[in-house]
């Protein structure tokens, strides 16, 4: 779409190996819990692409990129030529090397087909185990709980969401999750998936075992880098791109979960969107746009729990200071991290109203020194600082 917006003249074709047109992956939880039907998450509709002049071909898996002949080859043997190529081939869920992970009843969640398969299987199970207590794992646990499963979440870290939350935030958040009837086990490592053909539980490295007839791995992602590697493009954890989102080969760009910029694979939608915009501008060759990285930001809404984490959430040096407000009884926790009077990061748990204004203060690099002790008050009037 960005290419199309910038240039009405150039032909744009999109190829995907999926069966479906675009759908936002965060909606997969609602499909899983049965709240919405699969067709409802597919948007925009087919006609929209035609109206925009974008050709989309489904079930077209790319198996080879030939940079010297500027062509790509598909699984069905057909080939097409390109002038400029964007590799936005995403990532796949990582399954740690745990014995028994190939058994029936072990799942990952990345695609609509995965969500449908899990939902169907959950119709005959009662005890679910989610391996990985990150944001996705917890959302997944909440969806399974809605399906009536008893759910255990296994997390190797000593607290939940160590990259998004500080200790206070983690403990408030954990209590909220536990109130939903989800059991959180911290500091645990999975040793083996138990069962014959079908899973029946997991054994932990401390010797304990847990029942489980549905196991979900939510242990992070790995970028799809093989296509690029075989084409002779520089890869590391992801497809390495420069500030123009160009790979090591000219006229081939990469963006999204597949791409690695300054040794970082972001794995989040805001980064994928920003990279796509900049890659499109540079592919058209209008003028050079430099990508500077994306401020990490995540928002989750798990069964009524709203959590937003933005930017730096723990001060990294003596120039950075934190201000927090904890109301354990109400289950609300807010915190800002400041540097030179500007907010550079925030955790907002249980107060949706202040998310948008705080995001704007961060993005606008607005000085808040005068108000820093009031910003987290529940009824703070953000218009006082020009909001
Ligand atoms: C369940 C779930 C919930 C999420 N929730 C959030 C959230 O709340 N907030 C957030 O910021 N991020 C979230 N994410 C992450 C977010 O979805 C990804 O960052 C985003 O999808 C990345 O977009 P992408 O286009 O780079 O990759 P993808 O969405 O993975 O798209 C890549 C596409 O390329 C296709 N493909 C791969 N290889 C080939 C090939 N060889 N030939 C043809 N096609 C190919 C794939 O099938 C896929 O359709 C979530 C992810 C999941 C799985």
Closest CA to ligand 1's atom 27: 90
Band (pLDDT 50/70/90 cuts) for residue 381 is confident
pLDDT in tens, 323-373: 999 988 888 899 999 999 999 999 999 888 889 999 999 989 999 999 988
Q: Report CA(49)–ligand 1 centroid distance (Å).
A: 19
Nearest atom (ligand 1) to Cα of 28: 1
pLDDT in tens, 73-88: 999 999 999 999 999 9
Selection from 36, 28, 85 nearest residue 218 by Cα? 28
Average pLDDT for 97-104: 96
Q: What kind and span of H or E run contains 322?
A: strand 320-327
Closest CA to ligand 1's atom 41: 62
Band (pLDDT 50/70/90 cuts) for residue 299 is confident
In this prediction, residue 56 carries a pLDDT of 96
In this prediction, residue 21 carries a pLDDT of 97
In this prediction, residue 91 carries a pLDDT of 98
In this prediction, residue 1 carries a pLDDT of 78
pLDDT in tens, 193-233: 999 999 999 999 999 999 999 999 999 999 999 999 999 99
In this prediction, residue 303 carries a pLDDT of 66
Residue 14 in contact with ligand 1 by CB distance below 6 A: no
Selection from 308, 314, 306 nearest residue 330 by Cα? 306
- The answer to whether residue 387 scores a pLDDT higher than 60 is no
In this prediction, residue 162 carries a pLDDT of 84
Closest CA to ligand 1's atom 20: 269
Residue 73 CA to residue 32 CA, distance in Å, equals 34
In this prediction, residue 225 carries a pLDDT of 98
Residue 300 CA to residue 133 CA, distance in Å, equals 13
Residue 362 in contact with ligand 1 by CB distance below 6 A: no
pLDDT in tens, 133-155: 998 999 999 999 999 999 999 99
Residue 269 in contact with ligand 1 by CB distance below 6 A: yes
Q: What distances in angstroms separate CA 308 from CA 111, 165, 269, 344, 351, one per listed residue?
A: 24, 10, 14, 14, 9
Nearest atom (ligand 1) to Cα of 140: 1
Residue 90 in contact with ligand 1 by CB distance below 6 A: yes
- Range in 32-36, 264-268, 328-332, 372-376 with the lowest mean pLDDT: 328-332
Residue 66 CA to residue 241 CA, distance in Å, equals 18
Mutate to test the pocket of ligand 1, among 255, 268, 276, 300 (most ligand atoms within 8 A of CB): 268
In this prediction, residue 386 carries a pLDDT of 64
Q: Report CA(159)–ligand 1 centroid distance (Å).
A: 27
- The answer to whether residue 8 scores a pLDDT higher than 80 is no
Mean pLDDT, the chain, whole residue set: 93
Residue 136 in contact with ligand 1 by CB distance below 6 A: yes
Q: SS3 for 277?
A: helix
Nearest atom (ligand 1) to Cα of 255: 26
Given CA atoms 315, 317, 322, 327 in this order, what sign does their dihedral have? Answer: positive
């Amino acid at each position: 779409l960005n290419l199309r917006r910038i240039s009405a003249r150039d032909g744009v074709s999109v190829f995907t190996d999926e069966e479906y047109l675009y759908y936002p992956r965060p909606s997969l939880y609602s499909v899983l819990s049965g709240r919405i039907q699969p067709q409802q998450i597919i948007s925009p509709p087919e006609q929209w692409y035609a109206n925009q002049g974008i050709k989309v071909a489904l079930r077209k898996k790319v198996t080879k990129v030939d940079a010297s002949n500027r062509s790509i080859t598909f699984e069905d043997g057909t080939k097409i030529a390109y002038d400029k190529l964007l590799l936005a081939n995403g990532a796949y869920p990582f399954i740690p090397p745990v014995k028994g992970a190939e058994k029936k009843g072990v799942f990952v969640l990345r695609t609509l087909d995965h969500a449908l398969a899990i939902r169907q299987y959950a119709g005959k199970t009662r005890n679910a185990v989610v391996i990985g207590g990150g944001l996705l794992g917890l959302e997944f646990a909440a969806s399974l709980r809605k399906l009536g499963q008893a759910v255990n979440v296994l997390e190797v870290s000593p607290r939940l969401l160590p990259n998004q939350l500080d200790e206070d935030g983690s403990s408030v958040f954990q209590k909220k999750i536990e109130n939903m009837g989800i059991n959180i086990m911290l500091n645990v490592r999975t040793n083996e998936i138990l069962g014959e053909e079908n899973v029946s539980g997991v054994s932990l490295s401390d010797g304990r075992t847990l029942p489980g007839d549905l196991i979900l791995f939510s242990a992070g992602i790995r970028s799809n880098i093989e296509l690029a590697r075989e084409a002779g493009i520089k890869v590391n954890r992801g497809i390495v791109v420069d500030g123009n989102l160009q790979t090591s080969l000219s006229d081939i760009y990469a963006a999204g979960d597949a791409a690695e910029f300054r040794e970082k694979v972001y794995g989040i939608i805001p980064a994928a969107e920003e990279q796509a915009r900049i890659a499109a501008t540079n592919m058209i060759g209008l003028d050079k746009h430099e990508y500077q990285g994306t401020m990490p930001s995540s928002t989750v809404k798990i069964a009524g729990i709203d959590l937003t984490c933005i930017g730096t959430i723990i001060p990294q040096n003596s120039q950075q200071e934190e201000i927090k407000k904890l109301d354990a009884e109400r289950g609300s926790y807010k915190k800002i991290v400041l540097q030179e009077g500007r907010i550079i990061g925030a955790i907002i748990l249980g107060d949706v109203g202040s998310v948008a204004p705080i995001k704007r203060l961060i993005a606008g690099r607005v000085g808040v020194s005068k108000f820093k002790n009031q910003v987290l008050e529940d009824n703070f009037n953000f218009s006082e600082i020009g909001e």
